[in-house]
Amino acid sequence: MSSIALSTPESISPSRARRIILGNWQVLLGATVAVGLILMAIFAPLLAPMDPAHQDLLNTVKPPRTPGHLLGTDELGRDILSRIIWGARASLLVGLLTAGLSICVGVPLGLVSGYFGGRVDALIARLVDAVLGVPSILLALGLAAIFGPSLIIIVISLGLVWWASYARIVRAEAMALKSMAFVEAGQSLGCSNSRIIFRYLLPNVLPIVLALSASTVAAGILVEASLSFLGVGTQPPTPSWGAMLSTGRNYIHSAAYLSTIPGIAIVVAILSLNLLADGLRDIADPKLRK
């Protein structure tokens, strides 16, 4: 059985994969910034110089490099640097949970659809087409209006739609892989369908899934910021980059940094994750890799 695994298409040894990654500046830069953001979110209590909810009404709207406030204070005297650090938690949480939910639903359905074909494939394909026609942001706004705004509502509404993209891409990959020699060899040796799907097909679609997941996290950060900007995302006093943008627009002429700083944080996070996704896609695609 081990010889079948070794005969999968375009298999990459760990040493070769490491050389490919180290030679791809997009992956290195994107991964470095993304890991830094994740560590910042995890260790926010240790990195934040102040309590992000602490209000100092005697020091409101102070510019950056004010003594004791490196990035200044907002309209309630709260430390902006602390709120930026803590705000990464909400944004990354939405992105990571949405990607995880989409992978758990979309990847198995895509593998089953592409491998079995026939009526199963037709049913799943029609379901995917129907789901992809639902605007995720409008669904999030509707659920927030019914159940109240929260991070969980954002994750559920995005996951209910975005899994279809994973299913469609994985389905196409599975349909191409099932005609390969290693799948036919597994079938001739009496391997069960579940073993072929999860032992031989799944490892070959994981690079594409990882690349798509990085884009999903970036999109989740953008949607969370957009909904928080509209007031239906992260609720006070929890810090959020989108909410900081929303409050800062009232001071756009007198204190532009209130909107500029969280805007830069959003751009850096999304840009780094998109660079990571592009680099992983290049590595996963044999034509681009060569």
Q: Rounded to whole angstroms, how far apart are CA atoms 97 and 186?
A: 34
Q: How many other CB atoms are found less than 10 A from the CB of residue 102?
A: 25
Q: What is the pLDDT of residue 177?
A: 85
Looking up residue 274, the CATH number of its domain turns out to be: 1.10.3720.10
The answer as to whether 120 is a domain residue is yes
β-bridge partners, 73: 79
Residue 234 DSSP class: S
How does pLDDT run along the chain (290 residues), one tens digit per residue? 333 333 445 555 556 656 666 677 778 888 899 999 999 999 999 999 999 999 988 889 999 988 889 999 999 999 999 999 999 999 999 999 999 999 999 999 999 999 888 899 999 999 999 999 888 888 988 898 888 888 899 999 999 999 999 999 999 999 888 888 777 787 777 778 788 888 888 888 888 898 899 999 999 999 999 999 988 888 888 899 999 999 998 898 889 999 999 999 999 999 999 988 888 877 766 555 55
The number of residues making up the chain comes to 290
The answer as to whether 212 is a domain residue is yes
Listed in sequence order, the residues at least 6 apart from 222 whose beta carbon sits closer than 8 Å to its beta carbon are: 266, 270
Counting DSSP H helices and E strands in the chain, the numbers are 14, 0
The answer as to whether 3 is a domain residue is no
Q: What is the pLDDT of residue 5?
A: 39
Q: Rounded to whole angstroms, how far apart are CA atoms 238 and 86?
A: 8
DSSP strand E in 51-160: where? none
Whether 240 and 78 have beta carbons less than 8 Å apart is answered as no
Omega of the bond prior to 49 within 30 degrees of 0, cis?
Answer: no
Whether 288 and 23 have beta carbons less than 8 Å apart is answered as no
CA–CA distance from 27 to each of 13, 38, 92, 146, 277 (Å)? 18, 16, 19, 40, 8
The answer as to whether 7 is a domain residue is no
The answer as to whether 169 is a domain residue is yes
Q: What is the pLDDT of residue 29?
A: 87
The answer as to whether 235 is a domain residue is yes
Whether 107 and 170 have beta carbons less than 8 Å apart is answered as yes
Reduce the DSSP state of residue 269 to 3 states and report it: helix
The answer as to whether 4 is a domain residue is no
Omega of the bond prior to 237 within 30 degrees of 0, cis?
Answer: yes
Q: Number of folded domains in the chain? A: 1
The answer as to whether 74 is a domain residue is no
244: containing domain: 19-54+88-250+257-289
Q: What is the pLDDT of residue 181?
A: 79
